Amino acid sequence: MNTTSSLREDARAAADGIDEARLWRRLAEMAQIGAIPGNGVNRPALSPEDITARALLIDWAQARGYGVAVDGIGNLFLRRAGAEPDAAPVMTGSHMDSQPKGGRFDGIYGVLAGLEALEAMDEAGVRTRRPVEVVAWTNEEGGRFPPCTMGSMVFVGAKPLEAFLDVRDNAGIRLGDALAQTLAATAQAQPRAFATPVAAYVEAHIEQGPLLERSARTIGVVTGIQGMRWFNVEVSGESAHAGTAPVSLRRDALREAVAMIAALRELAADPGDVTRFTVGRVLVTPNSPNTVPSHVLFSVDLRHPDQATIERLGAAVEPLCRAHAAACTVRVTPTLRDDPTRFDAGVADLIETGAAALGLPSMRLPSGASHDAMYLSRVCPTGMIFVPCERGVSHNEAENATPADLAAGARVLAASLVELANR
C-alpha cells in the first residue's frame, strides 16, 4: 500500500503545520504554574494553580478566536468552528491537574497538543465539516479529591456531580467549595451542559511506561485500559496514652490498618506481576507520636486487565478488611469501579494509518494508567495516541519526553482529528 496517499490532503497539511517549538514553549510555560524542585509540577485540581493554568489556556484560545465554554464540574471546552456549526464535534484533550509530585507532561501534553492541532489547522487553512474541540477535563488525577477521571465521568453521565460535592481533600476543603471558586474565576466562559453529543474522541498522552522507548517506536496506538477499583477504608478505634494504655486493651486504628494492608497485599500477590496494588494515601488521627491512633483512612487502588480478576479482587477487599479489624470498626467505601475498556477498532486503525502515512514508527499497546478517554469511550468512538517518555517514569518530578516525540504525537493527532471531523 502506498501509505503516503492514505491521508486526506488537508489532514496531512494540518499535521505538517504542527510547530514543535511552539508546543514545547507552551509546555514549559505551563510547567511554571505549580513548579516544584526537581523539574516537577504540583498543580492540584481546582487549586489556585489550576485556576492560573485555565486562565492561560483561555488566553491562548481567545487569541485565536476559539469559543470557550465550561460545564458544571469545570470541564473547559475550546471550540474551533466547523462548516456545519450544529454537527456534533470531534473532541480531543486531557487534563491540566497534576499529582502532588507530578511531572511536566502527564495530562497537560494532551491539552496543549490539542491546541497545537487546532492552530495547525488554522495556519494550513483547513476547514472541517464538524467543529473540533479541545477539552481540559477537571480532576483527572484524583490526587487531591478522589476518585480520578471525575470530570469525564460526570460529563458522560456515569455519575452525577452531586455525588462528589462533599469529597474533601487532606486539608478538609470540600470539592464543592473549590469548584465554586474555580467556576467564578472562569466567568467569561459560556455555560455548557453535560452529556452534549460527541462524534469521536482522541486523546494524546505520554505513555507513562517503557514499551515505546524500548521498542524504538514513536507512536503508541492504544488498544484499551485495564480495569480498576478504588476504595477508601476508614478504621476507627480509640485514642489512648502511648505510655500507659496496655497494648492488649488498645483499639489502635493504625495497627489494624497495617494488618488490613498486609492482607490486601497478599490478596494482590501475583507471580506474573500483572496485578497492581497500591496504598498511596494514609491519614492518621490524631497523628501524634505518643497517642494511640483513633482513626485511619487509607486508599486502595487495584488494577488488572482481566474482567473476572478485577471483579474477584475488588469483591475481596471489604471482607478482608473486616476480618482484620480486631476491636476496631471499619468502613469500606468503593470510590471507583472501572471495568477493562477496549477502544474503538476504527479509531485505532485511523491512528495507525496516520502514523504510517507520516513516516512514524508505531505499535499497539494497552494502557496501565487510566485516562478520561475511558469514559468518553462509553459515548463515542474513542482512541488514544501515546508518545514515549523517558524510562517510563511518571507520577514523578523527573517525568521527561523529547520535543520531537511530543510534536510527532501532535502531528498524528492533528491528522486524525481532521479525518474524523470530515466524516
| Contacts with ligand GLV, residue ranges (CB under 6 A) | 141, 148, 369-370
Distance CA(183)–CA(218), nearest Å, equals: 37
CB-based closest residue to ligand GLV:
369
CB of 141 to Mn ion, least distance (A): 5
The residue among 259 and 369 lying less far from ligand GLV, judged by its C-beta, is 369
> Which one of ligand GLV, Mn ion, none interacts with residue 235, CB within 5 to 8 A by kind?
none
CB of 41 to ligand GLV, least distance (A): 13
CB of 103 to Mn ion, least distance (A): 9
Q: Establish if 97 lies at the interface with Mn ion (CB under 5 A).
A: no
Q: Establish if 40 lies at the interface with Mn ion (CB under 5 A).
A: no
Q: In terms of DSSP bridges, do strands 40-41 and 35-36 run parallel, antiparallel, or are they unpaired?
A: antiparallel
Q: Establish if 301 lies at the interface with Mn ion (CB under 5 A).
A: no
> Which one of ligand GLV, Mn ion, none interacts with residue 128, CB within 5 to 8 A by kind?
none
Which of 107, 114, 368, 388 contacts Mn ion by CB under 5 A? 107
> Which one of ligand GLV, Mn ion, none interacts with residue 148, CB within 5 to 8 A by kind?
ligand GLV
> Which one of Mn ion, ligand GLV, none interacts with residue 419, CB within 5 to 8 A by kind?
none
The residue among 299 and 370 lying less far from ligand GLV, judged by its C-beta, is 370
The residue among 66 and 109 lying less far from Mn ion, judged by its C-beta, is 109
Which of 71, 97, 106, 207 contacts Mn ion by CB under 5 A? 106
> Which one of ligand GLV, Mn ion, none interacts with residue 370, CB within 5 to 8 A by kind?
ligand GLV
Distance CA(145)–CA(270), nearest Å, equals: 29
Q: What letters, b where the CB count within 10 A reaches 16 and e where it falls short, cover 137-165?
A: bbbbbbbbbbbbbbbbbbbbebeebeebe
Q: Establish if 114 lies at the interface with Mn ion (CB under 5 A).
A: no
For residue 262, the one-letter residue type is A
CB of 158 to ligand GLV, least distance (A): 16
What 31-39 contacts at long range (C-beta under 8 Å, 24+ apart), as own/partner pairs, is 31/104, 31/108, 34/98, 36/101, 36/397, 37/397, 38/397, 38/398, 39/103, 39/104, 39/397, 39/398, 39/400
CB of 320 to Mn ion, least distance (A): 27
Q: Establish if 146 lies at the interface with Mn ion (CB under 5 A).
A: no
Q: Establish if 220 lies at the interface with Mn ion (CB under 5 A).
A: no
Q: Establish if 147 lies at the interface with Mn ion (CB under 5 A).
A: no
CB of 238 to Mn ion, least distance (A): 37
From the list 375, 406, 417, the residue with the least C-alpha distance to 105 is 406
CB of 278 to ligand GLV, least distance (A): 9
The residue among 152 and 370 lying less far from ligand GLV, judged by its C-beta, is 370
Q: What character string, x for contact with Mn ion (CB under 5 A) and - otherwise, covers 54-93?
A: ----------------------------------------
- Considering CB under 5 A, how many residues would be counted as binding Mn ion? 2
From the list 128, 182, 205, 176, the residue with the least C-alpha distance to 376 is 205
Q: Establish if 368 lies at the interface with Mn ion (CB under 5 A).
A: no
CB of 109 to ligand GLV, least distance (A): 13
CB of 369 to ligand GLV, least distance (A): 4
> Which one of Mn ion, ligand GLV, none interacts with residue 224, CB within 5 to 8 A by kind?
none
Q: Which residues bind Mn ion (CB under 5 A)?
A: 106-107
